[in-house]
Structure formats: C-alpha cells, structure tokens
Amino acid sequence: MQPFRLLSNFSSRWSRSGPAGKVILVALLVVLGLYIWQTISPLPDDPTAPPTLAAGDSTATPTRASATAVSNPMADSLQVHFIDVGQGDAILIVAPDGKTMLIDGGESNTGVVEYLRSVGVQQLDLMVATHPHADHIGGLVDVLEEIPVAEVVTNGQMHTSRTYERLLDGIAAAGAVYTEVKRGDRVQLGGLTFDVLHPTSGEDDDLNNSSVVLRLVYNQVAFLFTGDAEAQVEADILAAGQPVNATILKLGHHGSHTSSTAEFLAHVQPEVAVYSAEIGNSYGHPHAETLAALAKIGTQVYGTDVNGTVIVTSDGSTYTVDIARQGQPKAPSTETSQATAELQPA
C-alpha cells in the first residue's frame, strides 16, 4: 500500500533530523491517520455510504421485491389458491415468476382483500370476472378500490345490477386495461398461457352460461377453471373439440348438479376437483349427483365449505394440495335439497 512505503521513507529520514524533523514526522502521521480513517469508514455526509442501523431498529426500511411479484416459497412453482369467501368464487393464481391473477372475488366484504394482503399481494397483474353475478364480482369491486390492478378481463356480458355498475366504475377509477375475451383467445400471465374455451359470444340470457372458461397447462399439470358454466356450455365445449382434460378441475356452479355432467367429467378426468360454497348454504351445494359422478371416476374432492381455503402447488411435474382444515365434502340431507331445489342462484 503506497502510503505505508512513504511513511517508512519519511520516518527514516526525519527521525535523524532533530526536534524539527520529529514534529514534521508527527504531522505526517496525523495526516496519514486521517487518510486511512476516511478510506475505511465513509464520512456521515457521504451520500454513497450505506446507513448503519442498530439491531432491532424498527425504523429500518426493508428491501422489497417488485410490487408486481409475490414471494414464492417454492422456486419455479405455480400456486393456485381457491379462497374461502363463503357462497362465491375467488381464485388467486401466483405464477412461478411471481405474477398474480385473480379469477372472481366472491361477494363484497367476504374477505378477498384481506386474504390477498395476508399472502403478500401488493398488485394484481390480471383480474378475471367470469360473469356478472354478485357472488363472483362483488369482491372484485373491493379489490379494485384497495389494490392496484393492471388489467381486467371479462366476457363482455352486460348487466343492469348495481354491483356490475360499480365494477365498471372501479375499473375506470383504477386505470386498468379492459379486455373482453372469446373462445380461441389466450390470456397471458408472465410465462403462463390460459386458453379461453368459452364464451363464443358476449351475450347470453343465462349469465351462468356466459362464464369465461379457462384452461391452463403448466408442463404436465393442467387446470380447468369453469366459473358457473352449466351442462349446456360443457356440451358445447365438447362438441367444438376443445381440449378439456385437466389434473385439477374447479367445479362449475359451486358443485351444483346443473354442471359437471358425467360426459364432461369423463373427458376432463380430473385427479382433484375443488368447489367453492358456504357451509350450510341454502342452495344445497354441493349436490349429491355431482359428488357421486366424481366418486365414480376416482376424483379427490375438496370444498371451501368444509376445507377452508384450498391451495394447489405444482412444479409442473407433480402437485400438492394444502387445506385450511380437515373435512369430507358431502351433500346436504335429502330434505334440505328438496326444500332448496328452486333456489338455484341466477
């Protein structure tokens, strides 16, 4: 180090030069000391110096990743959260690169915003409203008011409800890109591609049958998200030759017998099926016919009514299913089913 060689030379020379030389030597030592101290420890007003924080200093600001990315505890894994929002649908998808997508949001004030925050979602890259019923879009209005959303995807189906009007207002206020999709379109989430299997048009007298149906293939594991699509839509998708086989199936219409026909399930061949419903709901979901059809093909069934939030994690080759609580999905009693048979949600 050059300063030490200079010190050696000056020390040898000035130590033999009497008192004056020694004074000069001391001065040189002081200057050298200041030089070394400033080199090793930047002065407090040095803008390049990193701040020094005491251990446990609560004023420290942690380093955070991009707001569009959610920390994924399993690298290169896909997570699909079937969120327990009572009698409604809400599905959070966290891509391997941390991009986030929300399919439906349940009714308003049923906890979707709180759930998103609890798992670290600070911004949504995509929001999908499968159809305009309140038990699917009410919570989306809450999310738009609380969390930045980059793009909103819908089927283009108009509705006259106040909830639907609030959804449109929320999209505009959020400054989100608005996109309408039809069969044959693709929705991109980072490196993930969702194929749109339905609808074929933006208008249907039955809002359930206007639902956006999405299929995602992540290497060897496929997911099918059906909204509230019923038997008519399932038959139409099969007739059109659309690929529907899936490892994980989100059951249509909360596990109702109006969806998930035996023919449709025979083509999907799901290993796991998940339905969203409220425990003790007045509609009798899930229906016995649906559970029997799934049992016949050996599908493992989970429901948010008995299992709480269901999380499927996949590396593209295998998958795991985590549930909030243990419970066996079952149909309500015959008396309850008969009493509520006419109360199917619009």
Residue 326: predicted pLDDT:
96
**Distance between CA 195 and CA 270 in Å, rounded?**
18
Residue 275 lies in a domain: yes
Residue 117's contacts (CB-CB under 8 Å, 6 or more residues apart) are 147
- Predicted local confidence at residue 18, as pLDDT: 55
The reply to whether 117 and 246 lie within a common domain is yes
Domain-located, residue 63: no
The single residue listed with the structure tokens 């009493």 is 339
19 CB-near residues (< 8 Å, 6+ apart): none
292 and 152 in one domain? yes
Would you place residue 46 in the very low, low, confident or very high pLDDT band (cuts 50, 70, 90)? Answer: very low
- pLDDT (0 to 100) of residue 138: 97
What's residue 125's pLDDT?
98
The backbone torsions φ and ψ at residue 56, rounded to the nearest 5 degrees and listed phi first, read 80, 10
Q: pLDDT tens digit string along 67-115?
A: 334 555 555 799 999 999 999 999 999 999 999 999 999 999 999 999 9
The average pLDDT across 315-331 equals 95
Q: Do 12 and 85 belong together in one domain?
A: no
Per the structure, the complete domain to which residue 7 belongs is given by 2-40
Give the chain's domain count: 2
- Whether 330 shows a pLDDT value over 70: the answer reads yes
Distance CA 215, CA 186 (A): 10
Q: Within this chain, do residues 325 and 176 fall inside the same structural domain, yes or no? A: yes
181 and 287 share one domain: yes
Residue 30 lies in a domain: yes
Same domain, 32 and 98: no
Residue 30 shares a structural domain with residue 100: no
Question: What's the Rg (C-alpha) of the chain?
Answer: 30
73-87, 169-183, 327-341 — which is least confidently predicted?
A: 327-341
Same domain, 169 and 274: yes
Residue 263 placed within a domain: yes
Residue 72 falls inside a structural domain: no
- Distance, first Cα to last Cα, the chain: 82
What is each CA distance from 243 to 209, 214, 238, 240, 257, in whole angstroms? 18, 11, 8, 9, 22
The per-residue pLDDT of the chain, averaged, comes to: 82
Which range has the worst mean pLDDT, 21-25, 136-140, 241-245, 315-319? Answer: 21-25
CATH code for the domain of 290: 3.60.15.10
Flag whether pLDDT at 306 surpasses 50.
Answer: yes
Let me know whether 30 and 110 are in one domain: no
Say yes or no: 169 and 246 in one domain.
yes
In this structure, are 88 and 19 located in the same domain?
no
In the chain, what percentage of residues exceed pLDDT 90?
68
pLDDT band, residue 265 (cuts 50/70/90)? very high
